Amino acid sequence: MSGFEDILAEVVSSYISENLFGKFSLNKFKTLPTPEARFDYLNTSALPYMGSGAAKDVFAVSSGKVLKMSRYGNGGDEVQSQLKREIERSLKFGNSGIVPRLYDYDKNEFSWMLVEPIKQFDSPGDDDNMKAITGVSVAMLGNFDVMLTEWILEAEKAKSAEEIIRYVALLKDAVWMAPRAKKLLEAYHNNPKAKELLEKYFTMAIRHGVSDIDRADHWGMDADGSIKVLDFGM
């Protein structure tokens, strides 16, 4: 690097830490009196914005953690109870390796949680990087979800995702779904990441009754490459 580039790199990194993160204090955030005040403080901060849906706004915090905050100002109780549900489930699933690690959360009003960052798989319509990584496409994940609903009684008796996929693959009268199940089974046996994704999906959906996780962008990978579900508050 030239001397100029060194100086530039230094300026940029001090800019990032002081201006993006420095104006936000997690301690101040935590001690604000109401969820509304915390929401306003967060939204006037310059924290890097990670995304949002109907129920949550998500920001990166300087420690490399991700702050998920319930949306206030619109939505009301149902929207706010989603984050509470996500916190309760995070506590329950703890170290199962299926959900992002939970570092801290709002113990009084359940308005925020601090979690491990996850590299999300692409949204439907974008490049299918889930397929590139796991061998399971968005369409295949959708088929798996349909399978679990259509053969829910068998799925509940099954010991694994593999068992229910195999069951459907061998059905004589499921002409529409059996070939799709065979394709899933092939991915399952060819790619350990397919197996990981489908077994984790099965655990969440069948063992814990967590629904609405059938979009690719509900899933992603942590820094160690472990597959995790990132939106499970519904």
Distance CA 134, CA 219 (A): 11
Binding of residue 102 to ligand ADP (CB under 6 A): no
In this structure, are residues 229 and 98 in contact, taking their beta carbons and an 8 Å threshold?
A: yes
How many chain residues bind ligand ADP (CB under 6 A)? 20
Per CB under 6 A, does 231 bind ligand ADP? yes
**Using CB under 6 A, which of 35, 42, 45, 100 touches ligand ADP?**
100
Q: Fill in the DSSP letter of residue 96.
A: S
Do residues 194 and 187 make contact, with C-beta atoms less than 8 angstroms apart? yes
The CA–CA distances, whole Å, from 210 to 142, 155, 180, 201 equal 15, 14, 23, 9
Min CB(88)–ligand ADP separation in Å:
14
* Residue 135 binds which of Mg ion, ligand ADP, none (CB < 5-8 A, kind-dependent): none
Tell me which residue has its CB nearest to ligand ADP: 53
Residue whose CB is less far from Mg ion, 53 or 75: 53
Whichever of 118 and 206 has its CB closer to ligand ADP, that residue is: 118
Q: How far apart are CA 169 and CA 218, in angstroms?
A: 26
Query: Can you give the length of the chain in residues?
Result: 234
CB of 28 to Mg ion, least distance (A): 27
Site string for Mg ion, 142-161 (x = CB under 5 A): --------------------
Q: Does 233 bind ligand ADP (CB under 6 A)?
A: yes
Nearer Cβ to ligand ADP, position 48 or 179? 48
Site for Mg ion in 19-78 (CB under 5 A): 53
35 contact, one of Mg ion, ligand ADP, none, CB 5-8 Å limit per kind: none
Binding positions for ligand ADP, 29-68, rule CB under 6 A: 50-56, 58, 66, 68
105 burial level (CB within 10 Å; 0-12, 13-18, 19+): buried
CA distance 100 to 207: 18
Our CA angle for 11, 16, 21, nearest 5°, is 145
Q: What is the phi/psi pair of residue 158, to 5°?
A: -70, 150
